[in-house]
Amino acid sequence: MTMLDFHFPKWGVWAAAAVAVAAVAGGATLLPVAEADTRTLDSEPEVIAHALESVEFESVGQMAVTSPAVVRATVTAVNPGRIVGADETAEPGEETAATQAREVTLQVNQAFSPNGRTTFPAPIKVEEWGWDASGDGYQVNNYKWSEVGKEYVFFLRGSATTGWNVISTEGRAEILADGFLSSSAEEGSALKQSIESYDMLDLTIYLKRIYDTKNPPPDLPTAAEMPVAGPSGYENSPLPTAGVTAEPTDLGTNDGSEPTPYPSST
């Protein structure tokens, strides 16, 4: 399958869906998940939408000290998540268009946090985009859809909707069979190079070192300054990118791909 490649030039866009997310705080309706049953959801993304991050991390260390917790976790299920927006008949990108998140369930295998204070005894859920108003799938930036059975490192932030979520589109790395990492950061970026310079063993040692606040290393990175508040709906968005108004863009599925029934789980 060939993915179409769309560019959204304004900062912090979670594709066309971001404008629908922004409508939540402005009074639009958050639709029940059950209303998605009338739509057929793609089993893989059909387009890539490009967005500028609200925060650009310089290194894996800076992203880690900015995150309250980092987890090594296995994806055990992916299900259709929240529907955001009031009008499923609107064109993708229109302010009232309904879009849907993917709800990703994680079994945490190892957790890292300042002095080990944060634990995860039960599975957690995070979100990612997503499907547009027509059920067509898309990913944002290099953040490919999470796959059931794969193990990843997630750099987390607090979330009012799910408890935890990924700190940005650059905040996940797949653990490969040889123990090395494949980062969701943009190709050629300093952050991607920083993350992928580690294997999982070395990253584990490094995270324990920088999270030891009682004996901080002399080269402890400085945390990035996260936005105090973004535009309306920012805090409700899967991954913390701010919503802006974008021109409607055709995200239709025309390549003959077939959807897979949901939910999917191990």
How confident is the model over 129-152, as pLDDT tens digits? 888 878 888 888 899 999 999 999
Checking if the pLDDT of 255 tops 60, the result is no
Identify residue 8 by its one-letter amino acid code. Answer: F
> For residues 55 and 65, is the Cβ–Cβ distance under 8 A?
no
Residue 230 binned pLDDT confidence (cut-offs 50, 70, 90): very low
Q: How confident is the model at residue 247 (pLDDT cuts 50, 70, 90)?
A: very low
Render the chain in DSSP notation, one character per residue: -PPEEEEEEEET--TTHHHHHHHHHTT--EE-GGGGGGSPPPSS-SEEEEEE-SS--SSHHHHHHHSSEEEEEEEEEEEEEEEESSBTTSPTTSTTB-EEEEEEEEEEEEEE-GGG-----S-EEEEEEEE-TTS-BEEETTBPPP-TT-EEEEEEEEETTTEEEESSTT-EEEE-TTSBEEE-SPTT-HHHHHHHT-BHHHHHHHHHHHT-TTS--TTPPPPP---S--STTGGGSSSS--------------S------S-EE-
Residue type (1 letter), 212: D
Answer for the pair 243, 21: CB distance below 8 angstroms, yes or no: yes
The arrangement of secondary structure in 4-238, i.e. its CATH architecture, is Beta Barrel (2.40)
- Mean pLDDT, all residues of the chain: 76
pLDDT tens digit sequence for 44-57: 988 887 777 878 89
The pLDDT of residue 238 is 58
pLDDT score of 266: 46
Confidence check: pLDDT of 170 > 70:
yes
Residue 236 has what pLDDT?
53
Q: Phi and psi for 52 in degrees, rounded to 5?
A: -85, 140
Q: Where residue 38 falls among pLDDT bands split at 50, 70, 90? A: low
What is the residue extent of each domain of the chain? 4-238
Q: In which band, very low, low, confident or very high, does the pLDDT at 242 lie, cut at 50, 70 and 90?
A: very low
pLDDT tier at 183 (50, 70, 90 boundaries)? very high
Enumerate the β-bridge partners of residue 138: 47
Least confident of 47-56, 101-110, 183-192: 47-56
* pLDDT 10s digits, 191-225: 999 999 999 999 999 999 999 989 989 999 999 98
